[in-house]
Amino acid sequence: MIGVSLKKKKEISLKKVEYYLDPSYVYLPIAGEDIVSITDKSVVKEGTLLGRKKNGLPILSPISGVVTWRQDEEILQIENNHEKKEYKEKNTSYTKEEFLSLIKEAGICGMGGAGFPTYLKYQNAKIHTLIVNAVECEPYITADFACIMENALFIIKTIASLMDILEIKESFIAIKAKEPLLKEKLITLTSTYPKVKVVEVPNLYPMGWEKSLVRYIKHTDYKKLPIEKGIVVSNISTIHAMGEALYKEKPLLERIVTFSGEKMKNPCNVHVKIGTKIKEILDYVEGVEENSDIIMGGPMMGKIVDLDHDVILPSTTSILALPKQNDQEEACIKCGKCTENCPSKIAPALIRENKNNPSALKRLNPNACIECGICSYICPSKIKVRDAVMEAKKERRKQ
Amino acid sequence: MNTGPFIKQNNTTGKMMKNLFLALLPLLIFTFYKNGLLPFIKGYATFYGMMYPLLLLLVGIITSYFSEYFYFRVLKHQTKVEIKEELRHSFPIFPGLFLSLIVPYNTPLLLMVFASFIATFFGKMLYGGFGHNLFNPALIGCFFLLTMYGGYIAKMGGYFNTLEMDTVSFATPLSNAQGVDGIGSYATLVAPYGTLWDFFLGTIPGALGETSALLCLCAFFFLSFKRVIKWKIPAFYIGTVFLLTLCIGKANGMGLWYPCFQVLSGGLFFGAIFMATDPVTSPITSIGQVLYAIFLGISTVTCRYLTPLPEGVLTSILTLNLFVPILDKIGSMQGIAIKKVAVPLLACLFCSFLLIQNVCLKYAKKDATDSNFQIIDKKTMGKETTYVVTQKGNGGLIKIEFVLEGQKIKTMKVLEEHETDAYFQMVMDAAYIDTLLQNQEKIEEVDTISGATISSKALKKSIMNVLKEEGILR
């Protein structure tokens, strides 16, 4: 298995769980090709359909209130009128088609970081194996962990229903090794479900990458998507959201987000509404210390937050406040560490060297890069190798 | 703006270099002990002689440092503050440090300054400084030193420190082996220097700091554990040399000691572990590294048997440095792993096969005509024929005069010899020449003198060669 062992630092955010489900405003970003079907200034309820995205997912209002469409900024702003909606547990059985349209209309997409529409993943050919990804291989993040701790039985029930509806033969819950609490809980709860197995995967980054998981659990390789081999990999929070849609007809309107990092004053996991401004939640959790980088996502793949604009998305796993880095880039000594540790088995140092050389780039295949960031992390000369590879990727697309 | 990752591994180029220096430290101490302290204690060296290895080291490092300073100051017109910053990231002591470990003991200080300047200024800085050089700087320096002043240094005493000059040595193990084309018995190849254990410990003559395989091996494990060097290169390099020499040895009826001897001599361990793994001048890709190492092995063995370069490590690494971009190209090809490795690997196999065959052929021819034998003069006066011939001994050519009458050698006189005095005295003391002449009809059965094998064998061979020349012996 290729990967690096990172310090987990999970304990920082595990102390408490907070709720911030009643923000004064939510903001939903609207990209160019998305369709808005609601008129300006109309009053909506929680879960009302506001429009539809390019990829077919509905845009749903996370709260009740008044909608303002600020076209110049490409956002829908909803002012909260603090009206609550109750969801009741139902017990209905679905066919595959009903199920697919249900999760599509519930707006469910991948909650592990990619944000890929879930119904597209499951509508494909025959699925025989479901891998539930609860690895959370990036440091600091405990959103999935918190989700399991709260809803373990519910999640396993959901997995069982999914297996019934989609006629899946076996399923695996992949968790990180050396998490005794999680392992014990899941193993006790799955004891009555013989087809649901709990697998421990090595404590390596990027073990939560689909390809790594499929390779480790099923010992097989695929080209583009795991469905080629009849396998589907879903994040455990996504499974939970699917369960909420199945049993309560509750769409994906909220999630757990980890607020952590050395510079976070009050690290915790927070239940938040999709579309809440990050700055608003940061103020609620007492904010961050001076001289820090605020990051959306994990420390390896995350991006710096734009405090004025960025809001919580379904795929936002965490907001981190980390000490600012001021490493100086030095000359590449060609130590080969980036190449040795690359999970995609490409040679980042060579790609960086040849980033303006089209014929060499064709051979070096920068498009295989998954942007995991190991090359930049491991570089002893502190070179931003991943940035160079991403540039090369762009260069390659132009051709 | 920072684009992440927002955590970095707690490792820097500076730390790697620090570890490299730590790994070299035992070798530096051993160098001082073997070439300075030990001769001094035994009374072979003066105090200056004892400090000389350290002096070479110091001169090498200082020159190296100032060459870089000179480069930034004169060619780049930088201010002192800028230069200080540059030198902090450029690790200026390393070319000089490595160079001082691979030069002969008797290198004059002035030549050390010259070599270290070449290494740093031409080998490293003119390419663009740290991280940009194509060839290993220290090897470039050593290459210039040995090609331009190798003869001069050899006259000064070459590789031998004062103790070795006075006691054991006449040639470094591999130049000694080259005298018999690399193929000989344990007694001729290993015994003059002690046992294989001495080869392993490093108490044999050779370049200043590269003789101890044991310490190099320790450094290898330390550096591999610390992930400073590319471990595949030394492993495959030494492995290839071992396998090839094992085949050559087996083909010539020699045992396991032979590949061990070949692997442990000529600074192979030092070269493989410290020089071939220089990150800047070795491949990045894993497959590239393996191919690089295998070709290094083939090239080294080729040099040892088929060229006048007895050691071959330096030349091989410099040659292969040139091919690093190509090897990386092979290593970075996308596609099925087997396909991309198959062709170069087959090339490796083919080269190895050719090499072994060549060496064996070369040795097979040796039996028919002895290239160590040469007739200088032949006169016939009446019944007497006088030959003046040379035969290669331990310390060079032995000039011998033979007088033949009829089918028999009447007298044999050594005109000139450069053998080690103690050994040749043993030969003379034993009245070996008389024994040889008395038994000339069954000359092949005469034993050589143990302890002075090479010298006595040379005399015996010269008689055989003269008799062959006359058609008496077949």
Do A128 and A178 have their domain in common?
Answer: yes
pLDDT under 50: residue ranges of chain A: none
Q: Do B284 and A347 touch (CB under 8 A)?
A: yes
In a domain, B1, yes or no: no
Contact with chain A for residue B230, Cβ under 8 A: yes
Residue A179 lies in a domain: yes
Widest pairwise Cα distance in chain A: 63
Alpha-carbon gap, residue B305 to B1, rounded angstroms = 58
- Cβ of A332 within 8 Å of Cβ of B2? The answer is no
Residue B436 to residue B444: CA distance in whole angstroms: 10
- The Cα A396–Cα B9 span in angstroms is 29
B467 is written with which tokens? 């008799």
What is the rounded CA–CA span in Å between residue A393 and residue A44? 43
pLDDT value at residue A270? 93
CB A296, CB A315: distance < 8 Å: no
Beta bridge partners of B388: B377, B401
Burial of A322 (0-12, 13-18, 19+ CB in 10 A): buried
Tell me which residue has tokens 């390659």: A396
Question: Does A259 map to a domain?
Answer: no
Query: Is the Cβ of A3 closer than 8 Å to some Cβ of chain B?
Result: no
Please tell me which of the candidates B8, B89, B332 has its beta carbon nearest to residue A347.
Answer: B332
**Structural contact between residues A281 and A319, judged by C-beta atoms closer than 8 angstroms:** yes
Q: Which residues 70-129 of B have a C-beta within 8 angstroms of A?
A: 89, 129
Please give the Cα distance from A151 to A149 (Å, whole number): 6
Q: Is the peptide bond before A117 cis (omega within 30 degrees of 0)?
A: no
Residues of B in contact with A377 (CB under 8 A): 5, 7-9
Boundary (domain end) residue, out of A206, A228, A248: A248
A248-251 long-range contacts (CB < 8 A, ≥24 apart) are: A248/A87, A248/A88, A248/A89, A248/A90, A249/A87, A249/A90, A249/A102, A249/A106, A250/A47, A250/A87, A250/A106, A251/A47, A251/A58, A251/A60, A251/A105, A251/A106, A251/A107, A251/A108
- Please provide the size of chain A in residues: 399
The answer to whether position A343 is within a domain reads yes
- φ and ψ of B108, to 5 deg: -65, 150
What residues contact A358, with CB distance under 8 A and at least 6 apart? A395, A396, A399
SS3 B84: helix
As given in the structure block, the two tokens for residue A163 are: 């297996």
Q: Could you tell me if B161 and B236 lie in one domain?
A: no
B193 shares a domain with B308: yes
Name chain B contacts of A12, Cβ cutoff 8 Å. Answer: none
Note the Cα A232 to chain centre separation in Å: 16
CA distances from B40 to A47, A110, A207, B50, B162 (A): 91, 75, 60, 6, 9
How is residue B166 annotated by DSSP? Answer: H
B405: its two tokens? 């009458």
Q: Which structural domain range is residue B145 located in?
A: 11-166
Q: Which residues of A touch B285 (CB under 8 A)?
A: 336, 339, 347, 350
The verdict on residue B417 lying in a domain is yes
- B386 and B250 in a common domain: no
| Residue B362, Ramachandran bin (φ over 0: left; ψ between -120 and 50: alpha; else beta) | alpha
Closest residue to B11, CB basis, from A301, A332, A380: A380
**ipTM score here?**
0.86
Residues A203 and A177 both lie in one domain: yes
Together in a domain, A155 and A198: yes
Local structure of B141: helix, strand or coil = helix
Give the closest-approach CA distance of A141 to chain B in angstroms.
14
Same domain, B362 and B390: no
- For residues B362 and B421, state if they share a domain: no
Cα–Cα distances in Å, from A7 out to A203, A235, B8, B34? Answer: 10, 22, 11, 45
Contacts of A340 in chain B (CB under 8 A): 286
Same domain, B235 and B142: no
Exposed e or buried b per residue across B87-101, where buried means at least 16 C-beta atoms within 10 angstroms of its C-beta = bebbbbbbbbbbbbb
What is the least distance, in Å, from the CA of B324 to any CA of chain A?
11
Of A303, A350, A378, the CB nearest to B9: A378
What is the least distance, in Å, from the CA of A238 to any CA of chain B? 25
| DSSP-derived secondary structure letter, A13 | G
Cα–Cα distance measured from residue A28 to residue A36, given in angstroms and rounded to the nearest whole number? 11
B226, A335 contact by CB (below 8 A): no
Is residue B420, in this structure, part of any structural domain at all? yes
Structure tokens at B392: 């290669």
In a domain, A311, yes or no: no
Task: Quote the tokens at residue A210.
Answer: 């689909």
Q: Are strands B408-416 and A318-323 parallel, antiparallel or unpaired?
A: unpaired
Q: Does A255 map to a domain?
A: no
Residue A126 maps to a domain: yes
* pLDDT for res B380: 82
Residues B286 and B316 in one domain: yes
pLDDT at B458: 84
**Residues B339 and B394 placed together within one structural domain of the fold:** no
pLDDT of residue A113: 75
In angstroms, the CA A346 to CA A333 distance is 18
* Alpha helices for A23-142 (secondary structure H): 96-105, 118-123
CATH number at A59 reads 2.40.50.100
CB atoms within 10 A of CB A130: 23
Answer yes or no: do B90 and B194 share one domain.
no
Total structural domains in chain B?
3
Inter-residue contact B124 to B65 (CB < 8 Å): no
Is residue B340 domain-shared with residue B381, that is, in the same domain? no
| Min Cα–Cα distance to chain A from B314, Å | 21
Mean pLDDT by 10 residues, chain B (474 residues): 86 92 95 91 88 94 94 90 89 93 92 95 92 93 92 86 72 79 81 88 88 94 94 95 90 88 92 94 92 92 84 92 91 68 78 79 61 80 85 84 84 84 80 83 78 81 82 71
For B151, the token pair is 């003869």
Are B195 and B341 members of one domain? yes
Joined tokens for residue A307: 């405090």
The per-residue DSSP string of B218-267 comes to HHHHHHHHTT-S-THHHHHHHHHHHHHHHHHHHHTT--THHHHHHHHSTT
Chain A residue numbers with beta carbons less than 8 Å from the beta carbon of B227 are 337
User: Domain tally for chain A?
Assistant: 3
Whether A334 and B282 lie within 8 Å, measured CB to CB: yes
Neighbours of B247 (CB within 10 A): 19
User: How far apart are the C-alpha atoms of A166 and A162, rounded to whole Å?
Assistant: 6
Burial of A149 (0-12, 13-18, 19+ CB in 10 A): middle
Q: How far apart are CA B383 and CA B406, in angstroms?
A: 7
Interhelix angle B232-251/B286-306, nearest 10 degrees: 40
Residues 323-362 (B) with a CB less than 8 A from some CB of A = 328-329, 331-334
Q: What was the pLDDT predicted at A233? A: 93
Residue B3 lies in a domain: no
CA-based torsion, A55, A56, A59, A62: positive or negative: negative
Nearest to A293 among B2, B13, B334 (CB): B2
Do A158 and A240 fall within a single domain?
yes
Q: What is the pLDDT of residue B443?
A: 79
Q: In residues, how long is chain B?
A: 474
**Residue B258 located in a structural domain:** yes
Q: Do B283 and A330 touch (CB under 8 A)?
A: no
Return the CATH number at A147.
3.40.50.11540
Tell which residue, B138, B273, B283, has the closest CA to residue A335.
Answer: B283
Q: Is A106 domain-assigned?
A: yes
Tell if the CB–CB gap between A387 and B8 is shorter than 8 Å.
no
Q: What is the pLDDT of residue B363?
A: 67
Q: Say yes or no for a CB contact (<8 Å) between A333 and B15.
A: no
A376 and B13 within 8 Å at the Cβ level: the answer is no
Rounded Cα distance between A386 and A349, Å, is 9
In a domain, B230, yes or no: yes
Q: Give the CB-side neighbour count of residue A16, counting CA atoms within 13 A.
A: 5
Nearest to B13 among A6, A347, A381 (CB): A381
- For residues B15 and B145, membership in a common domain is answered with yes
Nearest to B293 by CA among B348, B359, B227, B219: B348
The arrangement of strands across the sheet holding A231-235 comes to A196-201, A170-176, A129-134, A231-235
Task: Return the residue matching tokens 């996991």.
Answer: A269
Give the minimum alpha-carbon distance from A96 to chain B in angstroms, rounded to a whole number: 38
A190, A164: one domain: yes
Quote the tokens at residue A215: 């390779």
Strand ranges in B155-204 using DSSP code E only, listed in sequence order: none
Q: Which domain holds residue A388?
A: 337-398
